[in-house]
Structure 1
Amino acid sequence: MMDPQTSAQDVMRCDLCETAVVQMHCDTCLVNLCKACVGEHTISDQSISHKVVSFQARKSTPLYPGCTYHSKERCKMFCKQCDIPVCISCIESNQHLGHELYKILRILDEKKESITKERNELNDTIYPTYQDIASDVQNRMSQFEKEYGDLSTAITKHGEDWHREIDKLVQKLKAEVDEMKNTQLQTLQKHLDEINKKISDIKEEINTMEMAIDTNDLSKLFSVTSSVHIYRNLPDKIMPSLPKFIPGKIHEELGKLFGALSPSSLTSDKHGYSMKTPQKSPEAGSSPPVKQLLDEPETVTTIDTGYGRLYNVACLSDEEIWTSGNDKTMKLYNINQGSLLKSITTMSGNMPEDIAVTKSGDLVYTDYDDRSVNIVKNKKIEEVIRIQNWSPHRVCSTSSGDLLVVMDIDDNKQSKVVRYSGSTEKQTIQFDDKGKPLYSSSGSIFLVEYKYITENRNLDICVSDNGANAVVVVNQAGKLRFRYTGHTPAPKNQPFNPRGITTDSQSHILTADDYNHCVHIIDQDGQFLRYIDCGLSEPWGLCTDTNDNLFVAPYGNRQVKKIKYLQ
Structure 2
Amino acid sequence: MSEPSDEQAAMQHYLVCGSDDCQKNGQFYCNSCHRPLCEQCRDEHKKSPNTKNHEIVLYRHRKHQLPVEVCQDHPTRNKDMFCRECSMPLCSKCSTMKEHKGHAFDDLEDIYADKYALWQGEFSKIQKYFLPTTQDLKTDIEEDAKKIKKIMESIRTSMKAEAESLKTLVDKVTSENIEYTHTMEKSLLKMLKSQETTYDDYITYLGKMSDEFQEYLSTTNQKLLFKSNTLKIQTIPETTKPVPPVFTAGQFNKNDITKLLGRVNVPNTKKENRKIQPMEAESMHMISTEKQSEQSKEKSDMKQTLSLSSSVTKVREYSVPGIDSTCHVSVDKSGRLWVSDNKGNLVQIDLQGNQLQKIQTSNFLTTGFHTATQGGDLIYTDNEKKVIYRITSDKTITEFIKTEDWEPLSVHSSCISGDILVGMTYFEEAKVSRYSKTGKEIQKIQRDNKGQELYSFPIYITGSISGDICTSDWNKEAVVVVNKSGQHRFSYRGQGSKFLPWGICTDVLGHILVCDYVSESVHLLDQDGRFLFIILSTQQGIKSPCGVCVNDENNLYVGQFTKTVTVYKYLR
After superposition, the C-alpha distances for 1:95-123 in whole angstroms (9 at most, x for unaligned) are: xxxxxxxxxxxxxxxxxxxxxxxxxxxxx
Shift of 1:312: 1.0
1:374 corresponds to which of 381, 389, 394: 389
Counterparts of 2:463 and 2:359 in 1: how far apart (Å)?
A: 27
Q: Which has the larger radius of gyration?
A: 2
1:459 corresponds to which of 460, 467, 471: 467
Shift of 1:433: 1.7
2:422 partner amino acid? V
After superposition, the C-alpha distances for 1:318-353 in whole angstroms (9 at most, x for unaligned) are: 632110114454222234x3x224113247797875
Shift of 1:287: 3.7
Counterparts of 2:462 and 2:423 in 1: how far apart (Å)?
A: 10
1:516 partner amino acid? S
1:513 corresponds to which of 495, 516, 529: 516
Report what 1:563 is aligned to.
568
1:457 partner amino acid? I
Shift of 1:548: 0.9
8 Å Cα contact 1:352/1:365 also seen in 2:
no
After superposition, the C-alpha distances for 1:58-99 in whole angstroms (9 at most, x for unaligned) are: xxxxxxxxxxxxxxxxxxxxxxxxxxxxxxxxxxxxxxxxxx
Report what 1:542 is aligned to.
548
2:472 partner amino acid? S
Shift of 1:494: 5.2
8 Å Cα contact 2:12/2:485 also seen in 1:
no
Q: Identity of paired residues, percent?
A: 29
Report what 1:302 is aligned to.
317
After superposition, the C-alpha distances for 1:184-207 in whole angstroms (9 at most, x for unaligned) are: xxxxxxxxxxx9768766894437
After superposition, the C-alpha distances for 1:450-472 in whole angstroms (9 at most, x for unaligned) are: 53111111111111223222222
2:320 partner amino acid? T
Note the 1:523-534 alignment, pairs <5 A: 523-533=526-536, 534=540
8 Å Cα contact 1:366/1:393 also seen in 2:
yes
Note the 1:147-296 alignment, pairs <5 A: 204-206=25-27, 209-213=37-41, 280-284=289-293, 286-288=297-299, 289=302, 290-296=305-311
Do the aligned partners of residues 530 and 318 (structure 1) sit closer, same or farther apart at CA in structure 2, a change above 3 Å counting? Answer: farther
Counterparts of 2:447 and 2:343 in 1: how far apart (Å)?
A: 34
1:412 corresponds to which of 421, 425, 428: 428
Counterparts of 1:232 and 1:130 in 2: how far apart (Å)?
A: 20
Name the SS for the 1:464 alignment partner. Answer: strand
Do the aligned partners of residues 130 and 522 (structure 1) sit closer, same or farther apart at CA in structure 2, a change above 3 Å counting? Answer: closer
| TM-score (ref. length: structure 1) | 0.50
| TM-score (ref. length: structure 2) | 0.50
Name the SS for the 1:516 alignment partner. Answer: coil
Counterparts of 2:502 and 2:43 in 1: how far apart (Å)?
A: 34
Name the SS for the 2:484 alignment partner. Answer: coil
Counterparts of 1:291 and 1:129 in 2: how far apart (Å)?
A: 28
Note the 1:121-136 alignment, pairs <5 A: 126-128=3-5, 131=8
Q: How well do the aligned residues superpose, as a CA RMSD in angstroms?
A: 3.9
2:293 partner amino acid? A
Name the SS for the 1:342 alignment partner. Answer: strand
1 or 2 for the larger relative contact order (CA 8 Å, sep ≥6)? Answer: 1
Counterparts of 2:328 and 2:13 in 1: how far apart (Å)?
A: 39
Do the aligned partners of residues 347 and 381 (structure 1) sit closer, same or farther apart at CA in structure 2, a change above 3 Å counting? Answer: farther
1:342 partner amino acid? L
1:357 corresponds to which of 344, 362, 372: 372
Do the aligned partners of residues 216 and 501 (structure 1) sit closer, same or farther apart at CA in structure 2, a change above 3 Å counting? Answer: farther
1:482 paired to 2:490: yes
1:360 partner amino acid? G
Name the SS for the 1:300 alignment partner. Answer: strand
Do the aligned partners of residues 535 and 379 (structure 1) sit closer, same or farther apart at CA in structure 2, a change above 3 Å counting? Answer: same
1:210 partner amino acid? C
1:512 partner amino acid? C
Do the aligned partners of residues 548 and 370 (structure 1) sit closer, same or farther apart at CA in structure 2, a change above 3 Å counting? Answer: same
Counterparts of 1:276 and 1:198 in 2: how far apart (Å)?
A: 24
Name the SS for the 2:37 alignment partner. Answer: helix
8 Å Cα contact 1:324/1:352 also seen in 2:
no
1:563 partner amino acid? Y
8 Å Cα contact 1:375/1:384 also seen in 2:
yes
1:500 corresponds to which of 499, 503, 508: 503
8 Å Cα contact 1:406/1:418 also seen in 2:
no
Higher mean displacement: 400-409 or 519-528: 519-528
2:461 partner amino acid? I
The runs of 5 or more residues in structure 2 that have no matched partner are 18-23, 29-35, 51-61, 69-114, 122-288
8 Å Cα contact 2:363/2:384 also seen in 1:
no
8 Å Cα contact 1:305/1:559 also seen in 2:
yes
Shift of 1:129: 5.6
Report what 1:191 is aligned to.
none
